[in-house]
A and B are shown apart, each in its own frame.
Chain A
C-alpha cells in the first residue's frame, strides 16, 4: 500500500460548486497533516494544516478521520482561481511523503 494515496482527477466542476477530495495515508503514527496547493509550473504552497479533527478557513474545510486514516478537503463556492493541483502530506517522523495530488479544474 502506498504511503499516501489521492485520486489524481481531474475533477471538473462549474463555478460555485462544492467539491471534496480525499487522501488516505498508511502511517498511523502521523501527527499532523497538510494540504498544499500547486499551480502549473510552480512550487507547492501551504493551503491548510490539520492537527486534530479538522480545520476551516473561509471556503476551505479539512477533516481528519484517524480511525479510517484519511483526510479530506472540501471547497465550497468554487472559484476559477481554485483551479490547481491539491497535494496532501501526513507529517510523521522526519520523512515527508506527498500524495500524487488531485487536479481541480473549475470552469465558468
Chain B
C-alpha cells in the first residue's frame, strides 16, 4: 500500500514559534509538494521539490521555507508562525512522468494562537 505520511494530524503553536511539518513517502517519488487548504480557496501550492535539495516556489511561498535532504522526506518550515498561517496543510508526492497521479498525506491541521 502506497503511503504519504505527515508527522502530525493536529498541531497548536504560539505566534512567533518556529514550526516544522514533516512529510515522508515510501514510493520513491521524485516530486513532492506542500499545499495549504482554506475554506473557499482550495488547495494552494506553497513549495514543491522535483529532486533532492531542489525546491521551487509555488503560488504562496511567503512566510514558509522547505527542506529536502533525502528523497523520501520533504519538510515545511514556518520560520515565525503567525495566526494567518492557521490552516490545513497537505503534502503530496508524484512520480516523474506527466501521467503520474498524486498521492496525499492525511493532512495537518495547524492552529497558531
Contacts and interface: CB of A to CB of B under 8 A. Distances in A.
Interface in A75-105: 87, 89, 91-101
Interface in B80-113: 90, 92, 94, 98-102, 104-107
Query: On chain B, which size bracket covers the interface?
Result: 20 to 34
B90 A43 contact: yes
Given A96-B48, A101-B42, A43 B105 contact: yes
A34 interface: yes
Interface stretch (A12-20, A44-52, A54-62, A63-71): A44-52
Contacts of A96: 31, 33, 45, 48, 92, 94, 102
Nearest to A49: B101
A79 B113 CA distance: 40
Contacts of B48: 94-96
A95 B104 contact: no
Nearest to B101: A46
Nearest to B102: A96
B98 A95 contact: no
B106 A43 contact: yes
A28 interface: no
Contacts of A93: 98
A31 B98 contact: yes
B28 to A, nearest CB: 16
B99 A95 contact: no
Contacts of A49: 99, 101
A46 B99 CA distance: 13
A101 B39 CA distance: 11
19 contacts: A32-B98, A32-B99, A34-B101, A43-B105, A44-B102, A49-B99, A51-B99, A92-B98, A93-B98, A95-B48, A96-B31, A96-B33, A96-B92, A96-B102, A98-B35, A98-B42, A98-B45, A100-B41, A100-B42
Interface of A: 8, 31-32, 34, 36, 41-46, 49, 51, 87, 89, 91-101
